[in-house]
Chain A
Amino acid sequence: MAADTSSDDRGLRKGKWAPYGLLSPGILWLVLFFLVPVMILVRTALSSKASRFANPEFSWQFSNFTSAFTDYGPQFARSFLFAGIATVSAILIGYPLAYWIATQGGRWKNLLIGLVVVPFFTSYLIRTIAWTSLLKDDGVILNVIHAIPFVPQDFRLLATPAGVIGGLTYNFLSFMILPIYVSLEKIDFRLTEAAADLYGTPWQAFKKVVLPLSMPGVFAGSLLVFIPAAGDYLNNRYLGSPKTSMIGTVVQDKFLVQFDYPVAAALSLVLMAIITTMVLIYSKFLGTEGLAV
């Protein structure tokens, strides 16, 4: 590939030094403030700390990693469960909307997809606090729910897992809608007409043609929802309770309140490792199965 002549490819140049010069400021920044810090985090995770205010000493302390699982198993389990449910909910809510915009948006498409981005322009924290106002026990939403017969009087949403999952779903929903929309937009919908010509029902056309072609969007969206949701601690702080604490809650508390750096570093690396593994498995699964249907 590198041997092609540049003129064939609309002026794409075979660079000698110029591309590296253009890259260097940005890449250097990422190396200094992303790659190096993560390596330092690995080092901290393998250190031990004599007392609360002592400096961490590097000592191949692998027990930090084992205690990540033994002591904080429930928080890990909750993080992945909540993030998983939020991701699935975001697909179920977001896919139909993206499909509706892509197929029926017409000339309003740009406006309609632009509206999906608008919630981003208020602070994520303030949106979450707005949910506390909406979901509180005497708030608008619970008043409506309590009007439904047979709903128990003590039914509430704040400080419950449902509250936290609802917040996670809401806060990251746009990240699901946008990539699904982009992949649906690329589909040539004449394919569904072809399916109809071949006596396929609309549902078959959707299942066999549209859905497989839009899987890359669903995949990208799932990552964009799952990753921030699994590491989040604000939704739990405002919409949950100590009983619904997630791994982000523990990491934040250990770093910034208790100064227990080694265990906190180990916890965050375990989180990163599990997410990376899931990303790889998921991409492998979708790479072979999802696209070949």
Chain B
Amino acid sequence: MVMSEGVAPPYLSRELEQPGKTRKGSTSSQRAGSRWGRRILTAFACLVYLYLFLPLINIIVFTFNDPAGRYNISWDGFTINNWLDPFKDQELTNAFIRSLEVAVLSISIALIMGSLVAIALARYRFTGSRGIEIFLVLPLTTPEIVLGASLYQLFLGRNVVFGFSTVVIAHVMFCVSFVALTVKARVRGFDWTLEDAAMDLGASPWRSFRKITFPLILPGIVAAALLSFALSLDDYIVTDFTKGEFTTFPIQVNNAFRVSFPPQVNVLATIVLIVSVLLLVLTSVRSEKGATR
């Protein structure tokens, strides 16, 4: 199938650039048409950024809202109380912590399994590798609702208790493909003879993995980890089908929406946003340093 190459990896695109590939470029003035064309394009791009960030601005602004009713949807007045007491809603806080637990556990499992798949595909030549690559893409081209529904049918009637473990199983499932494809894109074209060189110089296989292979695939793993973290924390549909009575942060927000929408939802979401952006900046600064070294 045609899509197997292009579909998954482009998410964190800058991480996917091949090491050592030089930019073919020319000055920007030669690139994009006339001056007016460029100005219109720039203005349009600014509008798109505004569109992308409008809900985020809304979320952040409403952390300072003092809602009159139980819904933090209309602006009623400024307060910083929500930030002073972000964990006021006990159920919400618990769900938030459970979301983090699910994310950390499923990412850890998915990172190990996905990276091993990526190494196998990038490093070895074996019968069936093409089939494996197509198989990896399938969960990504399947609508989430089908993934959720089929897992629901698998667990139902098999004495499986819906809860933390079924949610983790589901999250690992949809993260493994992303991890494998992201890490694979990163290590494609890597010179594996370096490993042989290390071993020729007397390094044990474990040492050569630790000193050569692992540092080389690490940027891919970091990109995959960030992506999976966002995917897991964000997921609603697959979780909806595998949760039972268990609630994650988005599920709790949705369930509570019938009776309330407290500003603490916005505060917790903003905290996640700030931490993620910091991580993103930190890793991209580090990878840029690595690239220039």
Contacts and interface: CB of A to CB of B under 8 A. Distances in A.
Contacts of A208: none
Given A122-B273, A123-B234, A223-B141, A96 B124 contact: no
Interface in A172-188: 173-175, 178-179, 181-183, 185, 188
Interface string A115-141: 111111111111101111110101000
A40 interface: yes
Interface of A: 1-2, 4, 6-7, 9-15, 18-20, 22-23, 25-27, 29-30, 33-34, 36-38, 40-41, 44, 55, 93-94, 96-97, 99-101, 103-104, 106, 109-111, 113-127, 129-134, 136, 138, 170, 173-175, 178-179, 181-183, 185, 188-190, 192-193, 202-203, 206, 216-217, 219-220, 223-224, 227-228, 230-234, 248, 251-252, 255-256, 261, 264-265, 268-269, 271-272, 275-276, 279-280, 283, 286-287
Contact of A202 (B32, B48, B261): B32
B80 to A, nearest CB: 20
Interface string B24-37: 11101011111001
A20 B74 CA distance: 56
Contacts of A4: 125
B194 interface: yes
Contacts of A255: 149, 152, 241
Contact of A234 (B7, B150, B237, B266): B237
B224 interface: no
Contact of B6 (A36, A121, A217): A217
B108 interface: no
* Chain B interface extent, by class: 35 or more
Name the residue in B7, B121, B149, B195 with the highest tally of chain A Cβ atoms < 10 Å from its Cβ: B149
A170 B272 contact: no
A283 B1 contact: yes
B253 interface: yes
Given A104-B31, A124-B236, 19 more contacts: A10-B189, A12-B192, A15-B125, A22-B116, A22-B119, A25-B112, A26-B116, A30-B177, A37-B150, A104-B42, A116-B52, A118-B276, A123-B233, A178-B12, A185-B13, A190-B24, A190-B26, A217-B10, A223-B7
Given A120-B234, A178-B11, A2 B125 contact: yes
Interface of B: 1-3, 6-7, 10-14, 16-17, 24-26, 28, 30-34, 37-38, 41-42, 44-45, 48-49, 51-56, 58-59, 62, 73-74, 112-114, 116-117, 119-121, 123-127, 129, 132, 135-136, 138-139, 141-147, 149-154, 157, 169-170, 172-173, 176-177, 180, 189-196, 230, 233-234, 236-237, 240-241, 249-250, 253-254, 257, 261, 265-266, 269-270, 272-273, 276-277, 280-281, 284, 288
Contacts of A206: 33
Contacts of A99: 32, 41
A19 B124 CA distance: 6
A287 to B, nearest CB: 6
Contacts of A124: 234, 236, 250
A134 B54 contact: yes
Given A38-B146, A256-B241, A269-B146, A11 B125 contact: no
Q: Per DSSP, are chain A's interface residues mostly helix, strand or loop, or mixed? A: helix
List the 10 closest pairs (A to B, CB-CB), nearest first: A231-B143, A11-B192, A37-B150, A202-B33, A15-B124, A121-B276, A26-B113, A11-B193, A22-B120, A130-B55
A187 to B, nearest CB: 9
A26 to B, nearest CB: 4
Contacts of B240: 252, 256
A261 B11 CA distance: 34
